[in-house]
Amino acid sequence: MSVATSDACGRAAAGRPPAQAPPPAPAALLVSGAWKRYGGTAALAGVDLEVQPGAVVGLVGPNGSGKTTLLNAAAGLLDVDAGSLRVAGAVVGSREARCATALVPDEPTGFDELSVAEHIALVHALWPPDPEAAGRATLLTASFGLEGRCDQRLGTLSRGLRRQASAVAALSLASPLILVDEATATLDPEAVVVLGEAVTALAARGCGVLLATQDLHFAGSTCHEVVLLHRGAVIDRGEPGVLLARHAVTTLEDVLLSALGDGGLRQRIRGALSAL
Amino acid sequence: MRCQARRLRATVAVAPVPAAMLAAALVLAPLAFVRLGHALAGELADAISTEGVADGMVLGPALAAAVAGAAWAAALPERPSLGHQISVAPFDGVVAVVAVTVAPVCALALVVLPSLGAASLALGGALPGGSGSGLALTGASLAALPAGACAAEGWIASARGGPARTVLVGCAAAAWLAVGATLGAAPLGPLASTGPALRGAVPAWAALSASSATGLALALTWLVLAARRPPARASRVQPTRRLVRGRSGAVTTAVGVILARRSDVRFGAVGAVAFGVAGLAVARIASAPAPAAFLLGTTTALLGSALCALATGGALLAGRWLWARAPRGAATVARPAVLVALVGTSAPVILVGVAAAAAAGATRASAGAVAGVVVAGAALGVVAGSLVPWVPGAGAQLTTLAAFAAIAVGVSLGVGLAAPRLVSAGAPDPLVLAFVCASCLAAAAVVLRDRLERSDR
């Protein structure tokens, strides 16, 4: 993993040569024993997780396994009942941690009346000034093919295009920690490719990326590490290749089924549904 | 009905104490309104023989009800609100309208009817027309609800390219005025016999029959119009002028843009001006003395423009995923949002107020009082909309309005108890007014900030 320097707000600044040997950079995200309960249901059950600067970590798991809860907790939108979360060394929720976090939500609600350009401008205005942010936004806008839609309101765009606009706004901050919820949901294949390349490029300049996804092909091709969540707990983790070898299967889908103890799901369901 | 009942149960489970207090208030409110009716009758007993006063007693509640009816129709969730799966099923549009309105109508009847009926019966009982005329007054107020809703349908049809329907509603409005003119009070239309009934000049049963028949006919007409609404025009995809740019003032501009581009807020603002001007016209027609036209116009306008303040909390909470993570904290969002809500709420009132002052005159005291009511109303609207967000759906919006009414009543009681004591202790009126307004604005900013920062929504 690369070690990146950072500016006053903790923003990654790869390529700037350090004047002297810097201390080891803190993890982009460090989650220790995080618990979150909703009534009697544990959404997070003692999750430990680390996202190093320069790493892309994928959260994979069935619906309701706690992926979004973990992302929201890391973003400071949700308090955990126990455990701790630190972003670039700062406690989640602090000004430093907020400065160091960018979020691409599953559904970027609440800004339907703003145009794509206005939404990006608002995100840039809310975060500390960064002279390079506008340039990155222009580059990302062009990469996603949104140049012709900059003055179109988010509410008039399809959900996939809204998510692309939201991704441009968040990724252009180049924060030390980038959180992406349901990374590829509703995105067209081209946008999935652009998103994958964008997070890879940002990771290369020192950003840590934590993304939740159901797209196991995307996770396998983009993530340095895949974390399998089930009922709020980490049931397995590792590099995609290592996971395939460990479970002696050929796809991450089979890794997930194997880790869930449901390897025979296909045959079972095929038999059950034959009466349809 | 089941969906709404389950939502109500869930709300009660989340906040049992406020729910119990609200239930107690609902039970006790009719008693308070009986006292109000008696007090009002005592004040008006001598003046009731004047035609203008009796008609004014009918006009006030009828105008408010018409505004509420128009807002109701404008906010009515359409067929898709039943869910894509159900809305495509082969059933008639009337069934869809009934399905989305039946629960809110029942809730409204439960909340409003006992109090309105109690006040009207007490009032009528103490007037020459008797209790029957009080019932006729209730009927006239209720009949104005679908009248406002029908007017809104005409407006919606014209916005969506349905000229025939607009002409139809226009003709109906002309007929309404003609019938009213024949009966002696043009703006009241077929309800014009209610005023004479209060004076005892017309049998109460005749006025009650007229208002009931009018209300029923209008309700059925509205049902048909709402069920056969022209489809909404496709969203325009023309380029939008970039207003949020740069860093300075970006948050204030963004919140302003979000609210100003919302169709419900725009509709509320335009409706506020229209109904405010109607209130002004009514007061002029009734030859009410100087501040009455100003007061009626501005307060009626406030009823519509308060939608901007009510919508602010919900608009920001929908984007909480961004606002709450802003490094400078949610307070940097909440304060500008309250300012925007204040400007959005007061703009239509100022417009109507200036017109009213020019046309019918206004005193400095009445202007000050209206300014105070507008500022406090906007702030309390933000508080109510933050606690119970204004989201699509008649049931949800009714809940927000109920919260707004409850908060406004509570604050009014508090101010009513404290302000006279401050004034008698030597504090100048403007200072007390400024203190009340500043407190309300500060409370709005704090509540909105806390709602944005609360992590376990």
Tens-place pLDDT, residues B215-231: 999 999 988 888 888 87
d(CA A62, CA A225): 18
Q: Which residue of chain A is at minimal alpha-carbon distance from B311?
A: A110
Does the distance separating the beta carbons of B258 and A113 come in below 8 Å?
Answer: yes
Largest CA distance in chain A: 71
From chain B, the residues in CB contact with A113 under 8 A are 257-262
Q: According to the model, what pLDDT value does residue A199 have? A: 96
d(CA B148, CA A145): 47
Indicate the Cα dihedral angle B443, B448, B453, B454, nearest 10°: 90
d(CA A224, CA A231): 23
Task: Say how many C-beta atoms besides its own lie within 10 A of residue B40's C-beta.
Answer: 18
Does the distance separating the beta carbons of A118 and B254 come in below 8 Å?
Answer: yes
Q: Which residue of chain B is at minimal alpha-carbon distance from A96?
A: B327
d(CA B138, CA B124): 10
Q: How confident is the model at residue B237 (pLDDT cuts 50, 70, 90)?
A: low
Q: Which residue of chain A is at minimal alpha-carbon distance from B258?
A: A113
From chain A, the residues in CB contact with B261 under 8 A are 113, 153
Q: How confident is the model at residue B11 (pLDDT cuts 50, 70, 90)?
A: low
Indicate the Cα dihedral angle B347, B353, B354, B355, nearest 10°: 110
d(CA B150, CA B73): 8
pLDDT digits (tens, 9 = 90+) for B113-154: 888 888 888 888 888 888 888 888 889 988 998 998 888 888
Using the CB atoms, write b or e for B212-232: b if 16+ within 10 Å.
bebbeebbebbbebbeebeee
pLDDT digits (tens, 9 = 90+) for A231-274: 999 999 999 999 999 999 999 999 999 998 887 888 888 888 88
Q: How confident is the model at residue A10 (pLDDT cuts 50, 70, 90)?
A: very low
Q: How confident is the model at residue B167 (pLDDT cuts 50, 70, 90)?
A: confident
Quote the distance between the C-alpha of residue B251 and its chain's center. Answer: 29
Q: What distance, in Å, lies between the first and last C-alpha atoms of chain A?
A: 51
State the smallest CA–CA distance between residue B327 and chain A in angstroms: 5
Does the distance separating the beta carbons of B322 and A121 come in below 8 Å?
Answer: no
Between A27-31, B46-50, B141-145, B425-429, the lowest mean confidence (pLDDT) is in B46-50
Closest Cβ–Cβ partner in B250, B324, B456 for A125: B250
Q: According to the model, what pLDDT value does residue B170 have? A: 84
Q: Which residue of chain B is at minimal alpha-carbon distance from A102?
A: B325
Handedness of CA B408, B413, B418, B420 (dihedral sign): positive
The pTM of the full predicted model, rounded to 2 decimals, is 0.78
Residue-number span of the structural domain to which A219 is assigned: 25-100+177-187+209-271
Contact of A163 with chain B, judged by CB distance below 8 Å, is answered with no
d(CA B184, CA B307): 34
d(CA B431, CA B452): 31
Task: Say how many C-beta atoms besides its own lie within 10 A of residue B94's C-beta.
Answer: 14
pLDDT digits (tens, 9 = 90+) for B345-401: 999 999 999 998 888 788 888 899 899 999 999 999 999 999 888 887 666 777 788
State the smallest CA–CA distance between residue B397 and chain A in angstroms: 17
Helix (H, G, I), strand (E, B) or coil at A11: coil
Please check the confidence at residue A129 and state whether its pLDDT lies above 80: yes
Strands across the sheet containing A29-38: A41-51, A29-38, A82-87, A90-91
Q: Which residues pair with A35 in a beta bridge?
A: A45, A82
Q: According to the model, what pLDDT value does residue A8 have? A: 41
In a domain, A192, yes or no: no
Q: How many domains does chain A have?
A: 1
Question: Which residue would you say has higher pLDDT here, A119 or B26?
Answer: A119
pLDDT digits (tens, 9 = 90+) for A20-59: 666 777 899 999 999 999 888 899 999 999 999 999 999 9
In a domain, A241, yes or no: yes
Q: According to the model, what pLDDT value does residue A33 have? A: 95
Return the closest-CA partner of residue B316 out of B400, B243, B237, B257: B257
Q: Which residues pair with A115 in a beta bridge?
A: A153
Please check the confidence at residue B456 and state whether its pLDDT lies above 60: no
Question: Which residue would you say has higher pLDDT here, B247 or A106?
Answer: A106
Handedness of CA A150, A156, A160, A163 (dihedral sign): positive
Quote the distance between the C-alpha of residue B122 and its chain's center. Answer: 25
Does the distance separating the beta carbons of B244 and A121 come in below 8 Å?
Answer: yes
d(CA B321, CA A241): 34
Residues B97/B223, Cβ–Cβ less than 8 Å: yes
Q: According to the model, what pLDDT value does residue B255 have? A: 95
Q: How confident is the model at residue A1 (pLDDT cuts 50, 70, 90)?
A: very low
Task: List chain B domain ranges.
Answer: 1-231, 250-457
Q: How confident is the model at residue A276 (pLDDT cuts 50, 70, 90)?
A: confident
Between A25-29, B148-152, B274-278, B332-336, the lowest mean confidence (pLDDT) is in B274-278
d(CA B378, CA B384): 10
Q: According to the model, what pLDDT value does residue B382 have? A: 95
Handedness of CA A116, A117, A122, A124 (dihedral sign): positive
Please check the confidence at residue A84 and state whether its pLDDT lies above 70: yes
From chain B, the residues in CB contact with A181 under 8 A are none
State the smallest CA–CA distance between residue B335 and chain A in angstroms: 14
Residues A1/A52, Cβ–Cβ less than 8 Å: yes
Contact of A108 with chain B, judged by CB distance below 8 Å, is answered with yes
Two tokens at B300? 């009626």
Please check the confidence at residue A225 and state whether its pLDDT lies above 90: yes
Indicate the Cα dihedral angle B195, B198, B201, B202, nearest 10°: 80
Residues B307/B268, Cβ–Cβ less than 8 Å: yes
Q: Which of A115, A159, A173, A180 to mutate to test the interface with B (most CBs of B within 10 A)?
A: A115
Helix (H, G, I), strand (E, B) or coil at A78: coil
Q: How confident is the model at residue A6 (pLDDT cuts 50, 70, 90)?
A: very low
From chain B, the residues in CB contact with A101 under 8 A are 325
Angle between helices A133-144 and A159-171 (to 10 degrees): 150
In a domain, A251, yes or no: yes
Q: Which residue of chain A is at minimal alpha-carbon distance from B243?
A: A118
Two tokens at A132? 């390079």
Q: According to the model, what pLDDT value does residue B413 have? A: 82
From chain A, the residues in CB contact with B456 under 8 A are 78-79
Residues A54/A207, Cβ–Cβ less than 8 Å: yes
State the smallest CA–CA distance between residue B101 and chain A in angstroms: 26
Contact of A220 with chain B, judged by CB distance below 8 Å, is answered with no
State the smallest CA–CA distance between residue B154 and chain A in angstroms: 26
Between A115-124, B6-15, B199-208, the lowest mean confidence (pLDDT) is in B6-15
In a domain, A70, yes or no: yes
Does the distance separating the beta carbons of B246 and A125 come in below 8 Å?
Answer: yes
Query: What is residue A12's DSSP assignment?
Result: B
3-state secondary structure string across A150-214:
CCCEHHHCCHHHHHHHHHHHHHCCCCCEEEECCCCCCCCHHHHHHHHHHHHHHHHCCCEEEEECC
Task: Say how many C-beta atoms besides its own lie within 10 A of residue B42's C-beta.
Answer: 11
Two tokens at B321? 């995923």
The angle formed by the CA atoms of residues A18, A22 and A24, to the nearest 5 degrees, is 135
3-state secondary structure string across chain B:
CHHHHHHHHHHHHHCHHHHHHHHHHHHHHHHHHHHHHHHHHHHHCCHHHCHHHHHHHHHHHHHHHHHHHHHHHHHCCCHHHHCHHHHCCCCCHHHHHHHHHHHHHHHHHHHHHHHHHHHHHHHHHCCCCCHHHHHHHHHHHHHHHHHHHHHHHHHHHHHCCCHHHHHHHHHHHHHHHHHHHHHCCHHHHHHHHHHHHHHCCCCHHHHHHHHHHHHHHHHHHHHHHHHCCCCCCCCCCCCCCCCCCCCCCHHHHHHHHHHHCCHHHHHHHHHHHHHHHHHHHHHHHCCCCHHHHHHHHHHHHHHHHHHHHHHHHHHHHHCHHHHCCCCCCCHHHHHHHHHHHHHHHHHHHHHHHHHHHHHHCCCHHHHHHHHHHHHHHHHHHHHHHHHCCCCCCHHHHHHHHHHHHHHHHHHHHHHHHHHHHHHHCCCCHHHHHHHHHHHHHHHHHHHHHHHHHCCCC
Going by their DSSP bridges, the two strands A56-60 and A225-230 should be labelled as parallel
Between B319-328, B393-402, B430-439, the lowest mean confidence (pLDDT) is in B393-402
Question: Which residue would you say has higher pLDDT here, B16 or B344?
Answer: B344
State the smallest CA–CA distance between residue B277 and chain A in angstroms: 29
**Region class of A109: left (phi > 0), else alpha (psi between -120 and 50), else beta:** beta
Q: What is the domain-level CATH number for residue A267?
A: 3.40.50.300
From chain B, the residues in CB contact with A153 under 8 A are 235, 240, 261
Closest Cβ–Cβ partner in B242, B262, B325 for A77: B325
Q: What distance, in Å, lies between the first and last C-alpha atoms of chain B?
A: 26
d(CA A130, CA A8): 11
State the smallest CA–CA distance between residue A76 and chain B in angstroms: 7
Q: Which residue of chain B is at minimal alpha-carbon distance from A150?
A: B239
The mean predicted confidence, pLDDT, of chain A is: 90
